[in-house]
């Protein structure tokens, strides 16, 4: 009691002989004590629920083709195993998604990087998921539609349809390595639009297989490209967040979804 009074900075009891009675401050403490204890109990129960995956929240950011392929499978498995864990999803392309992770706006960022491309992720936990092959997309009636594989240089005279800014830069680099600069007639972040434009005969494109999987390519054919092109799909989080049970479980389900693909 002496320690409590010292902490409070005021007497809590009035001692008269063998009797004691509460001061005004002591009465105030008693009134709030039950609520404090109840709050501590509730906090302990909530923390235990989160640790035991009976509750919890994960904020996930993903690029669009990941959102439509890997994410649904992963989240369905997570919900089946841990129905109390809630996941929110926002779409963003890297590097913006990685910035959101570092700024505290998400817990996991599903991202990608092209082979040989630099990505400053040394401060993050990197969970490799899969290698996503890039394929050529040509109209059904195109002269190369039935080819087993197409060298990028064979498409030098074609009009091109490009994807997201990062994908666009990669396309230009690959084409320049093959000795030409692509004539990009259309550029869009929307993969269904890319496929639709190719299907209408307005050009050719190079797309990740994940993107093609997420869209039904009507009027277009996929062909392998040479040299082989690919990108690495990863899940990123912060070191401390990787220890949070709900985050760890979500990372695990994303890895399982990728392995099934």
Quickly state the pLDDT bin for 22 (edges 50, 70, 90): confident
Residue ranges of alpha helices (H) inside 52-162 are 64-67, 70-81, 96-102
Q: Which residues of 144-165 are buried (b: 16+ CB within 10 A; e: fewer)?
A: beeeeebebebbeebebbbbbe
Over 70: is that where the pLDDT of 117 sits? no
Q: What pLDDT digit, counting tens, does each position of 207-249 carry?
A: 999 999 888 778 999 999 999 999 999 999 999 999 889 999 9
pLDDT value for 1: 63
- Whether 106 and 90 have beta carbons less than 8 Å apart is answered as yes
Question: What pTM does this model have?
Answer: 0.79
Mean pLDDT, all residues of the chain: 89
- pLDDT (0 to 100) of residue 235: 98
Q: What is the pLDDT of residue 183?
A: 97
Contact yes or no for 237/129 (Cβ under 8 A):
no
Higher pLDDT, 14 or 122: 122
- pLDDT at residue 38 is higher than 80: no
pLDDT at residue 171 above 90? yes
Domains of the chain, with CATH numbers? 2-51 (1.10.10.10), 57-130+233-260 (3.40.190.10), 132-231 (3.40.190.10)
Residue 74 has pLDDT above 90, yes or no: yes
35 vs 111 pLDDT, higher one: 111
Residue range 131-167, pLDDT digits in tens: 999 999 999 999 999 999 999 999 999 999 998 888 8
Q: Which residue, chain included where needed, has tokens 């277009």?
A: 220
Confidence of residue 50 (pLDDT cuts 50, 70, 90): low
Confidence check: pLDDT of 118 > 70: no
**Which pLDDT belongs to residue 58?**
93
Confidence of residue 54 (pLDDT cuts 50, 70, 90): confident
Helix (H) or strand (E) holding 87: strand 86-91
């Amino acid at each position: 009691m002496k320690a409590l009074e010292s902490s409070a900075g005021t007497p809590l009891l009035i001692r008269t002989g063998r009797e004691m009675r509460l001061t005004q401050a002591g009465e105030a403490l008693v009134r709030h004590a039950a609520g404090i204890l109840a709050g501590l109990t509730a906090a302990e129960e909530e923390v235990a629920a989160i640790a035991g995956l009976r509750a919890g929240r994960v904020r996930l950011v993903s690029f669009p083709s990941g959102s439509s392929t890997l994410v649904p499978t992963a989240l369905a498995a997570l919900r089946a195993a841990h129905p109390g864990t809630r996941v929110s999803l926002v779409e963003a392309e890297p590097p913006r998604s990685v910035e959101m992770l570092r700024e505290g706006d998400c817990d996991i960022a599903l991202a990608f990087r092209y082979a040989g491309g630099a990505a400053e992720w040394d401060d993050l936990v990197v969970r490799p998921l899969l290698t996503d092959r890039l394929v050529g997309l040509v109209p059904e009636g195109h002269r190369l539609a039935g080819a087993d594989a197409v060298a990028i240089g064979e498409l030098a005279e074609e009009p091109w349809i490009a994807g997201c800014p990062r994908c666009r830069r990669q396309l230009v680099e690959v084409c320049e390595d093959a000795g030409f600069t692509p004539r990009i007639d259309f550029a869009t972040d929307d993969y269904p639009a890319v496929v639709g434009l190719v299907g209408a005969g307005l050009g050719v494109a190079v797309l990740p297989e994940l993107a093609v999987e997420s869209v039904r390519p009507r009027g277009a054919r996929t062909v392998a490209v040479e040299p082989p092109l690919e990108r690495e799909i990863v899940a990123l989080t912060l070191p401390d967040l990787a220890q949070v049970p709900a985050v760890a479980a979500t990372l695990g389900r994303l890895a399982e979804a990728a392995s099934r693909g």
